[in-house]
């Protein structure tokens, strides 16, 4: 009997709110169609997504920055965004990286010496060789991006700087209103550590273990329409 009373009370409250008293868009505040996006950087010095100076009012470019002093060989993450914001792509001047949702900032060494060198004269680098820089937007507006060095003879890089970029774009067709919050959530992330085992071309169990991605929390700022 007591349970029934509580339930009735809850229903009553719900009915009351629906009749106007508890609306989350008070009639006193008119809706203003949004014209762009605004992003506020997160605090802290760990892994984080911070706004790049190239951002505009409708395209927010975010840098992945790591902790100072940490050397890494690459990183990747999945970022969930509401369907009311779209991920942008980058147009570059080479055929290998153009059109991707991730931009290489040049920190990691993505190009390599030809490992098939037969011990004679050196073979120059091929600027158009495939590189481990890729990404896509999966179902449900999940961005997945990664950037990794593939040549284990390349040194690990200082991570306290912009390691790669992604972009979020305002879509005027979806009907966002100024002030709407657009929650961004990192669902998976990891970096490739400096120590990946001895520098030989022979696989070992040690390398198997050291080659696994190290999980890393990435702090994300707040994104909203304005």
Partner 1 sequence: MRRPLPHPVSALVLALALGSGSLVAAPAPQLDRATLAVHRAQQPQRIIQAQAHFASLRAQFGLGEGDAFVARHAFTNPEGEAIVRLEQTHDGHRVWGGQAVAHVLPEGGIRTITTSVRTSVALQGEPQLSGDRALRIALAHLAPKGPMKDAPQVERVVFPAQFLGGLASKLDGTGRPVLDRSMSVTAKLDAPYVWAYEVRTRLHNREDGTKELTYLIDGNTGKILRIQDMVQHLEPAQGSGTGFYRGAVTLNTTLANDGTYLLMDTTRGTRTNQFVSGYQADPSATGWSPDIPALQVWFHQNDSDGNYTWMDGLFQTPVGVTTWGDGLPFTAWGQEGGINGQTVGVDAMSAMTTTWDFYKNIFGRDGMDGQGTAVAANVLNNFASPSWDSRDNASWSTWGQYIDLGAGSYPANPKGFQSMADLDVIAHEMTHGVTNPSQSHYWVNSAGYEEAGLNEAVSDFFAQMVKAYSTRTPGEDSVIPDTDGADWQIGKNVGHGTPLRWLDKPSLDERSVDGWFDGIKYMDGHFSAGPLNRAFYFLANGASSTPGSASYSPYLPGGMTGIGNDAAARIIYKAITEFLVGDGTGTITFQRVREACEQAAWYKGYYSEGTPAVRNAFAAANIGDAHNQTTPRTQVRFADFRHDDYIESTHFSDYSTRQVFPKGETVVPRITVLNNSNTAVTWSLGGPSMFNGADQNISKGGVINADGSWTTPNVMAWHSITATSQADPKQFAEGRVFLIGMDTDMDGEVDALDMAGVSVSWYLWGALNPAHSVFEAPLVDDDDVAFFVDAMKSTWPVK
47 touches partner 1 (CB under 8 A)? no
Nearer to partner 1 by Cβ, of 35 and 212: the residue is: 212
Q: Which is nearer to partner 1, 41 or 169 (CB)?
A: 169
39 Cβ neighbours under 8 A, 6+ residues apart: 51, 55, 60, 62, 168, 221, 222, 223
Binding residue for partner 1, selected from 184, 192, 216, 225, defined by CB under 8 A: 192
Of 15-23, 31-39, 59-67, 137-145, which part binds partner 1 (CB under 8 A)?
Answer: 137-145
Q: Can you tell me the distance from the alpha carbon of 38 to that of 35, in angstroms, rounded to the nearest whole number?
A: 10
Is residue 173 involved in binding partner 1 (CB under 8 A)? Answer: no
Q: Is 114 in the site for partner 1 (CB under 8 A)?
A: yes
N- to C-terminal Cα separation, the chain: 49
Smallest gap from residue 215 Cβ to partner 1 (A) = 10
Residues of this chain that interact with partner 1 (CB under 8 A) are 73-74, 76-78, 86-89, 93-96, 98-102, 114-116, 118, 120-121, 123-124, 126-138, 144-146, 148-152, 188-190, 192, 196, 201-203, 207-208, 211-213
């Amino acid at each position: 009997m007591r349970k029934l009373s509580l339930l009735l009370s809850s229903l009553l409250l719900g009915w009351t709110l629906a009749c106007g008293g508890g609306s989350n868009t008070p009639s006193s505040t008119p809706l203003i169609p949004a014209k762009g996006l605004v992003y506020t950087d997160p605090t802290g010095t760990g892994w984080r997504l911070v706004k790049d100076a190239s951002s505009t009012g409708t395209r927010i470019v975010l840098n992945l920055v790591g902790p100072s002093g940490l050397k890494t060989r690459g990183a990747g993450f999945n970022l969930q965004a509401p369907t009311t914001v779209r991920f942008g792509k980058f147009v570059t001047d080479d055929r290998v990286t153009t059109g991707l949702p991730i931009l290489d900032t040049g920190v990691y060494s993505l190009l390599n010496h030809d490992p098939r060198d037969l011990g004679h004269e050196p073979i120059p680098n091929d600027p158009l060789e495939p590189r481990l820089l890729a990404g896509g937007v999966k179902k449900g507006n999940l961005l997945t991006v990664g950037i990794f060095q593939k040549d284990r003879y390349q040194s690990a890089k200082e991570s306290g700087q912009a390691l790669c970029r992604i972009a979020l774009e305002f879509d005027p067709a979806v009907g966002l209103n100024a002030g709407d919050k657009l929650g961004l959530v990192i669902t998976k992330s990891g970096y490739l550590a400096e120590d990946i085992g001895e520098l030989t071309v022979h696989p070992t169990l040690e390398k198997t273990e050291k080659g696994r991605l190290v999980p890393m929390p990435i702090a994300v700022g707040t994104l909203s329409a304005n």
